[in-house]
Amino acid sequence: MLERIIPASGEKMPVIGMGTWQSLNISGAGALQNAAQVVEAWAGAGGRLIDSSPMYGKAEEVIGQVTEGQPFADRLFYATKVWTTGAKEGLAQMEDSFRKMKRQTIDLMQIHNLVDWKTHLPQLRRWKEEGRIRYIGITHYTDASHEELRRIIEQEPLDFVQFNYSLLNRHAEQFLLPVAQDKGVATLINRPFGEGHLLKLLVGKKLPEWVTAQGIQSWPDCILRYIIANPAVTCVIPATSVPEHALNNAQSGAGLIPDEAFCKRLVAYIKEVL
């Protein structure tokens, strides 16, 4: 799988990660077994960064359950978030994340949707200095948040910024990605399929021959390759509850990366057909 550099350290990161919003908020033996198959399929194809949050219900706990004892467990890059107000409350929530994910160290701790970020950021920095977490970052999922995300990464030393970006919604392409690249901040891309909305719009629409000529096999594959074609993108985190889809997502990171001309043609085509 293609890897990108985390600017803060030089560490390499595979470009297809895994999100867990809704997909791992599960219970029951059958659902847990399926989740284990999803994570194993993705990790077996080279996936490394798995992203969660206390907001995602049982997702952190499920990550801990399905990775514990697995041969790939210590190879993964564990990312989660603090999502509460108040310093004391933030500390308690983050401690709970360590317990649920069954980790002594969390690779990336992010401030979810910028909730009380000025309160939490000093604690994240302390824990990074102490080695409890390796990287720190901020997140959001709406275009309306991009201006504030941009302002913060221009003013504060951060390792990661996470935000929404897709073939249908390219606001971050000009507004946020270049700034992150200039500031040496790694980027995580959420909502690459627009929470499934983009894929629904493309149902029944055949891939053009000039797309399949690139070795692209499906619309999800096409969308992910478009996103990672941008060199400012460090890692995309699509979520799925289907093992085959998890494998296919990971394999998109090992395919031919489209050039600029292809990407421009694809944008024009999507505008035409949707």
∠ CA 18-24-30, nearest 5°, is 125
Tell me if residue 166 falls in helix, strand or coil: coil
pLDDT tens profile 125-155: 999 999 999 999 999 999 999 999 999 999 9
Tell me if residue 261 falls in helix, strand or coil: helix
Position 98 scores a pLDDT of 98
Amino acid sitting at position 99:
R
- Give the rounded percent of residues in the chain with a pLDDT score beyond 90: 98
Domain boundaries, the chain: 3-273
Position 34 scores a pLDDT of 98
Q: Supply 41's token pair.
A: 């399929």
pTM of the model as a whole:
0.96
Element (H, E) at 266: helix 260-273
pLDDT tens profile 21-32: 999 999 999 999
Asked whether the beta carbons of 108 and 133 are under 8 A apart, the reply is yes
Which one-letter DSSP state was computed for residue 204?
T
First to last CA, the chain: 31
Q: Supply 115's token pair.
A: 């909730």
Does domain 3-273 correspond to CATH entry 3.20.20.100?
yes
Using a 10 angstrom Cβ sphere, with 0-12 exposed, 13-18 middle and 19 or more buried, the burial of residue 11 is middle
